[in-house]
């Protein structure tokens, strides 16, 4: 069975998707998100990148703007002019889709935090291949334990299709039975998430020798990729690409007192500073209501999503 066949699920195949995440740590879900919401989001994302995408130095961005020049990466909160209104249509779209059941079942909880401070919009320009991100995991410094497993939901915003069979860069995966976070090098005083240490390189080499294959899928608008903290993934090759790509990635974590404490502690110690610190940790409750907390509060407080 090819990797495309094994790792591609219809939106109602919840158990099969969870099994793929458990075994190989990634899966593609077909036609699960509203194309209209994604198209509207793409319009806003392109406005953000037209404003900041031409900058060459981080110092050119105001300190309170969560935009990373070195990777063409904008924090997901930049989609809303007034974040206090809690629009976050992409998160609501995920909540109201089959993806929510997959997230809850895999994380073994129905109390879920949406990690907005490490969720992002990305712009890939084929003329800037040096900005491609190599193989890495999304552990973000959290403890290497199942209770702290992240789920990332990655989806295309524009154009309508990317990856295999197109001239648009996608994301590539190394589906393998990896059940730990690989070691990383210390770079510029901060912990790099790239699998860059000599130990990690040996582990990658062993995975290849054991038969692991790089999965280079295609994706259409409305589809999504889901992967967890242990999955190795990278920016797809842009050697034969001629079109720009806009995408979004939103991360989720089971909500427990321990996970909330860990996130607050890491923000307080600036460990997550490079991932654009915000004050808030969001916990989704219903389609029209979420709870939130920040480092000044000890309890979640309910607020209403704007209708």
Give the CATH number for residue 16.
2.60.120.620
**Which position has the higher pLDDT, 146 or 183?**
146
Measured between alpha carbons, how far apart are the two ends of the chain, in Å? Answer: 45
Contacts of 61 (CB under 8 A, 6+ apart): 52, 55, 67, 69
Contacts of 64 (CB under 8 A, 6+ apart): none
What is the rounded average pLDDT for all residues in the chain? 78
Specify the number of domains making up the chain: 1
Q: Which domain holds residue 207?
A: 3-304
The two tokens of residue 47 are: 């406005």
pLDDT over 70 for what percent of the chain? 75
Averaged pLDDT for residues 68-87: 74
Q: What is the pLDDT of residue 293?
A: 42
pLDDT tens string 18-30: 999 999 999 999 9
- How far is 221 from 25, CA to CA, in rounded Å? 22
pLDDT tens string 211-267: 888 899 999 999 999 999 999 898 887 667 888 999 999 998 887 767 766 666 655
Averaged pLDDT for residues 138-144: 78
Band (119; pLDDT cuts 50, 70, 90): confident
**Could you write out the DSSP letters of every residue in the chain?**
--HHHHHEEETT-HHHHHHHHHHHSEEEEES-S-HHHHHHHHHHHHHHHHHHTT---GGGS-TTS-EEGGGTEEEGGGG-SSGGG---HHHHHHHTSTHHHHHHHHHT-S-EEE-GGG-EEEEE-TT-GGG---SB---TT--SSGGG-EEEEEEEEESSEEETTSSS--EEEE-----SPPP--EETTEE--BS-SHHHHHHHHHHHHTT---B--EEEBTBEEEEETT-EEEEPP-TT--S-EEEEEEEEEE--HHHHHHHHHHHHTTTTGGGT--SEEEEEEETTEEEEEETT-SS-EEEEPP-
Q: What is the pLDDT of residue 196?
A: 52
Band (152; pLDDT cuts 50, 70, 90): very high
The yes-or-no verdict on residue 303 having pLDDT over 50 is: no
Convert 228-267 to b/e letters by CB count within 10 Å (16 or more is b): bbbbbbbbbebeebeebbbbbbbbbbbbeeebbebbbebb
- Tokens 């939130």, residue located: 292
pTM: 0.83
């Amino acid at each position: 069975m090819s990797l495309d066949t094994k790792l591609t699920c219809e939106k109602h195949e919840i158990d099969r998707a969870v099994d793929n995440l458990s075994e190989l740590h990634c899966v593609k879900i077909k036609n699960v998100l509203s194309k209209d919401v994604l198209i509207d989001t793409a319009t806003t994302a392109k406005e953000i990148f037209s404003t900041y995408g031409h900058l060459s130095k981080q110092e050119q961005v105001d300190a309170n703007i969560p935009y990373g020049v070195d990777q063409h990466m904008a924090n997901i909160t930049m989609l809303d002019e007034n974040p206090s209104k809690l629009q976050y249509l992409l998160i609501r779209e995920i909540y109201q889709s089959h993806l929510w059941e997959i997230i809850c079942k895999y994380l073994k909880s129905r109390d879920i935090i949406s990690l907005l401070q490490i969720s992002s919009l990305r712009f890939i320009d084929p003329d800037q291949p040096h900005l491609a991100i190599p193989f890495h995991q999304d552990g973000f410094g959290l403890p290497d334990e199942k209770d702290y497993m992240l789920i990332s939901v990655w989806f295309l915003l524009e154009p309508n299709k990317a990856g295999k069979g197109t001239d648009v860069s996608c994301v590539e995966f190394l589906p393998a039975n990896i059940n730990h976070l690989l070691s990383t090098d210390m770079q510029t005083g901060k912990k790099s998430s790239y699998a860059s240490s000599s130990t990690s390189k040996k582990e990658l080499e062993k995975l290849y020798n054991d038969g692991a294959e790089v999965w280079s899928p295609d994706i259409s608008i409305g589809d999504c990729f889901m992967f967890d903290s242990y999955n190795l993934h990278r920016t797809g090759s842009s050697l034969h690409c001629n079109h720009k790509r806009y995408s979004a990635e939103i991360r989720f974590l089971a909500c427990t007192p321990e996970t909330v404490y860990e996130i607050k502690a890491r923000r307080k110690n600036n460990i997550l500073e490079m991932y654009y610190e915000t004050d808030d940790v969001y916990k989704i409750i219903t389609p029209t209501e979420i709870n939130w907390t920040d480092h000044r509060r000890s309890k979640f407080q309910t607020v209403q999503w704007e209708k």
